[in-house]
Structure 1
Amino acid sequence: MNLIDFKASILRNLPSKSQNGLLGKKVFQVGLGAVGGYIADSLIKIGAGIDDEFTIIDNDIFSVDNVGRHLLGMEYIGKSKSQAFKEYAKKQTFNQLKKLNTNFDNVSNYNFQYFVDNPMDLIVDTTGNIEVQEYLSELVQQIPLESRPNLLHLWIFGNGECVQGFWHDAKLQDHQGGCIQCLGTSANGLFESTLPIRNLDKEQRFGVCSAFTPYAVSCGMMASSLGINMILEWLETGMVKNNYQTRYNSEYQNEKINDLLIMANVNCPYCGEKYAKSI
């Protein structure tokens, strides 16, 4: 017998305007890295995986190199991030998280038909990988509009000078454009007008058989916070007014961009030709 009701604890802290958070919403998350671990934990705390499916995929192993900026700690070294997070989440929720599914898998194994057969309300991409972002954006646009999920991309920019989120609203994008490729493409990077920081000299470091970008633990937490705020805005109002949002760290005091509403860009391979002339 559980003496603590985890669902009641969630509802206690959600404002009524949040419409019971993600309780009753189907959520699919890609990635359990520095951003993904923190936001997965936070999504559960606004209702994901309690009443309806919360599926997370990741194909990486948790290593000692991850400990310095990840939600998970030393006890999970050597386990897949997907299995490690499931063990962690069960402990934190008193084994009451019955709808959490974590899979050691690659997003390329999921096509649009999977999401037709398994409808979702929200897909959260935490990989920070432009190729994955484009893959998911193109995949979502193949799903019939009546069952098309919203898609949230989150990433850390540079060495953590800022974090960013892009909200791909299924119905608004179909009407007025606005997808991740309206910001830029994997071939050419972000368009000048959407760059949060210009002329940034990003630091890279090299480990054993790999290169990596150094940034502090605060960056994953900040990106998670941004993502949760965007999701709560959607739950409370039915939309995210500015679908491209940026949060800078307190040390960065140079030129900044405001939160923006991104619609069709003429250079976007998906939205440009279809929408740009009419907007």
Structure 2
Amino acid sequence: MIEAMEVIPELIAKFREIGFERSAHQIVGGLLILEGQLKTSVGDFDCLVGIDRQFRRLPQVQLLNSPAQLPHLSPHISSTGGICYAMPGTIVFDIFDPVGQTLLCVRKATHVLSMVLQGKMVEDLAEEFFASWFDLHCFMDVDDRQTGVISAVTIRDGKSVFRRNDVIATDDVQRTSLKLESLGVSFEEMSCNVYKISTTAQPRPYQNDWPPKTIGEVVNWQYELDHTARAKVLEAVKRGIRSPYMAIVVIIESPLMSYGVFIDLPHPNERRLLKKPALALQHIYRLPIKQIAIFRLDDEYIAQRNTPGCTTLSGLRITLVGCGTIGGYLAEALVKAGAGIGGGSVALVDRESLQPGNLGRHRLGFSELYKPKATALKGELERIMPSAKIIACPEDVRDLTLGEFDLLIDATGEESLGYWLAARYHSVVPTLSVWIEGAGVAVRSLLKRPGDGACYRCLCDYNKGSRYRSVKEDLKPVFAGQGCEGIYVPFSAVVSVQAACLGVEAALQWAGGSAHEALRTKVLSPGYEAATPDCSPETRSGCPACST
């Protein structure tokens, strides 16, 4: 490993070769500051380069003077001259070549500056907009993406992940309260209206007089970005002034990010000048503002953030039968994929309680011992997603009338119960079976659509005739346990997680409407060879379940 301090002399020598010198203004224990010029195709520009002496952060590059050619509104250049030359995580800094990597970063900053001065964007970079836009935080829990007026609550104490006086904008106070209560946060409704407006332009900072401090500066800035946004901001402010509320939050939704402003209003009795047509604008323009950084907390964002553009399970009514070693992990994955939100629901059906022998491979832990699995899992899922609609049914599925739902998932691993479910629901609703083969040798899933393809009983009968088997080798019974503990099939929790992953992937593809093989197999144990590629078996002639 290269010692960071040992390469500093070499670093300074290499930078001297390209015209940089060690600055006389150094802070003890701070960044190493070098002075020089960025030599672009447009011209040479004085700058400072701040280098982390431990090379744990990328170098900072800052222009000393704003280039005359720099547009009033520019991407990737902050109002203080900082150059955003790379998105976080897009540069892998080679710790074994810190000198070369630092020089590479400066070359990257030079390229970005050159492109900006030529009026070109560098598409893979994030805007440096939020670097100076952080007076307040506003957390958005808004499912309705339409613009308009919404409510707001504020944090009453600072003993939480939120700061005192942080704003939470919501279109459903009850849903938002569930999320805040799960964090133990004390909150209250604000005397405030939140207005959402949209713009077609990304926010870019001015190179001078930044950030804006009044409504007038905000609307003039918005006019340069998008002519239509100015009128929208003013209309929102005027509506707020006519209301009885004491503050306004204007949230501006641009194509890739949202940001906002907070405006304290005079008492309603003192707004006379703000309402006079002849004088209103000049007084409105003087109103001070605070910048608001927006962070989304809405359900759809949580479900879609990691799979942008893909279908989620939001809005679907899903019944999961079996909350055991597969069902526990599967239920969590379903909720994180959107199940239970957007008007959807997840019904958990399992008559069993969590036993000591379950703890080693179950999603639930010691604190849930001897509790009904369905009830305990409901509580765990509500901690994960407080706004999700989770229904616990700690009963035998054969004794229940389940009502209407969109997808049935059998995660029991019980072959006999699988037969019953296939017979009862094969023609009513899509049924997804997920199970483990042998002692964790393989995991499988089978999706049966009404009137199409093999059901779980069909597949079991096919297997008895050596068709559609998971592996070529014989699966010999493997059991463990004795006495009061009971006999069980041993396999690790990793196997259960793999089965759950296979199941949620099948559920998501079904929800997205994409054509895929009904039967899927993943072989886990070394020494076994897959016998059947993923496929869609046909209904077996004479299947007693399908003929029911």
TM-score range, shorter chain: 0.7 to 0.9
Structure 2 counterpart of 1:225: 501
Q: Is the alpha carbon distance of 1:13 and 1:194 closer, same or farther for their aligned partners in structure 2, counting shifts above 3 Å?
A: same
Structure 2 counterpart of 1:35: 326
Give the Cα–Cα distance (whole angstroms) in 2 for the partners of residues 89 and 212 of structure 1. 27
- How far the C-alpha of 1:83 sits from its partner, in A, is 1.5
The AA in structure 1 aligned to 2:378 is: K
Structure 2 counterpart of 1:57: 349
Q: Deviations over 1:102-139 (max 9, x none)?
A: 111001113xxx35xx2111000001111111111111
1:127 partnered with 2:412 = yes
Q: Is the alpha carbon distance of 1:270 and 1:126 closer, same or farther for their aligned partners in structure 2, counting shifts above 3 Å?
A: closer
Question: Residues 184 and 268 of structure 1 are in contact (CA less than 8 Å); yes or no, is this contact kept in structure 2?
Answer: no
Moved more, 66-75 or 176-185: 176-185
Question: Residues 326 and 497 of structure 2 are in contact (CA less than 8 Å); yes or no, is this contact kept in structure 1?
Answer: yes
Give the Cα–Cα distance (whole angstroms) in 2 for the partners of residues 247 and 254 of structure 1. 10
> Which of the residues 435, 442, 448 maps onto 1:168?
448
Question: Residues 463 and 469 of structure 2 are in contact (CA less than 8 Å); yes or no, is this contact kept in structure 1?
Answer: no
Point out where structure 1 has 5 or more consecutive residues left out of the alignment: 143-147, 275-279
Structure 2 counterpart of 1:277: none
- SS of the equivalent of 1:56 reads strand
Question: Residues 55 and 101 of structure 1 are in contact (CA less than 8 Å); yes or no, is this contact kept in structure 2?
Answer: yes
- How far the C-alpha of 1:7 sits from its partner, in A, is 4.1
Give the Cα–Cα distance (whole angstroms) in 2 for the partners of residues 76 and 224 of structure 1. 21
Moved more, 151-160 or 60-69: 60-69
Pairing 1:96-107 to 2, within 5 Å after superposition: 96-97=387-388, 99-107=389-397
- How far the C-alpha of 1:236 sits from its partner, in A, is 2.2
> Which of the residues 309, 323, 328 maps onto 1:16?
309
Question: Residues 151 and 168 of structure 1 are in contact (CA less than 8 Å); yes or no, is this contact kept in structure 2?
Answer: yes
- SS of the equivalent of 1:234 reads helix
Count of aligned pairs between the two proteins: 252
Structure 2 counterpart of 1:138: 423
Q: Deviations over 1:223-261 (max 9, x none)?
A: 01101111121122344x211111011524435321121
Give the Cα–Cα distance (whole angstroms) in 1 for the partners of residues 334 and 530 of structure 2. 32
The AA in structure 1 aligned to 2:319 is: F
The AA in structure 2 aligned to 1:91 is: R
What TM-score does the superposition give when structure 2 sets the normalisation length? 0.44
The AA in structure 2 aligned to 1:76 is: E
Which of the two has higher C-alpha Rg? 2
Give the Cα–Cα distance (whole angstroms) in 1 for the partners of residues 300 and 512 of structure 2. 19
Structure 1 counterpart of 2:74: none
The AA in structure 1 aligned to 2:465 is: F
What TM-score does the superposition give when structure 1 sets the normalisation length? 0.83
Greater relative CO (CA pairs within 8 A, separation 6+): 1
The AA in structure 2 aligned to 1:169 is: R
Question: Residues 441 and 528 of structure 2 are in contact (CA less than 8 Å); yes or no, is this contact kept in structure 1?
Answer: no
Point out where structure 2 has 5 or more consecutive residues left out of the alignment: 1-176, 181-296
- How far the C-alpha of 1:69 sits from its partner, in A, is 0.6
- How far the C-alpha of 1:208 sits from its partner, in A, is 3.5
The AA in structure 1 aligned to 2:332 is: D
- How far the C-alpha of 1:181 sits from its partner, in A, is 2.0
- SS of the equivalent of 1:17 reads coil
Give the Cα–Cα distance (whole angstroms) in 2 for the partners of residues 225 and 96 of structure 1. 23
> Which of the residues 336, 361, 383 maps onto 1:45?
336
Structure 2 counterpart of 1:152: 432
Question: Residues 183 and 191 of structure 1 are in contact (CA less than 8 Å); yes or no, is this contact kept in structure 2?
Answer: no
Question: Residues 48 and 54 of structure 1 are in contact (CA less than 8 Å); yes or no, is this contact kept in structure 2?
Answer: yes
The AA in structure 2 aligned to 1:90 is: E
Give the Cα–Cα distance (whole angstroms) in 2 for the partners of residues 39 and 164 of structure 1. 13
- SS of the equivalent of 2:467 reads helix
Question: Residues 426 and 455 of structure 2 are in contact (CA less than 8 Å); yes or no, is this contact kept in structure 1?
Answer: no
- How far the C-alpha of 1:73 sits from its partner, in A, is 1.0
Moved more, 195-204 or 148-157: 195-204
Structure 1 counterpart of 2:201: none
The AA in structure 2 aligned to 1:136 is: L
Moved more, 191-200 or 33-42: 191-200
- SS of the equivalent of 2:310 reads helix
RMSD of aligned alpha carbons: 2.2
Structure 1 counterpart of 2:87: none
The AA in structure 1 aligned to 2:541 is: V
Moved more, 252-261 or 36-45: 252-261
Question: Residues 119 and 149 of structure 1 are in contact (CA less than 8 Å); yes or no, is this contact kept in structure 2?
Answer: no
1:75 partnered with 2:367 = yes
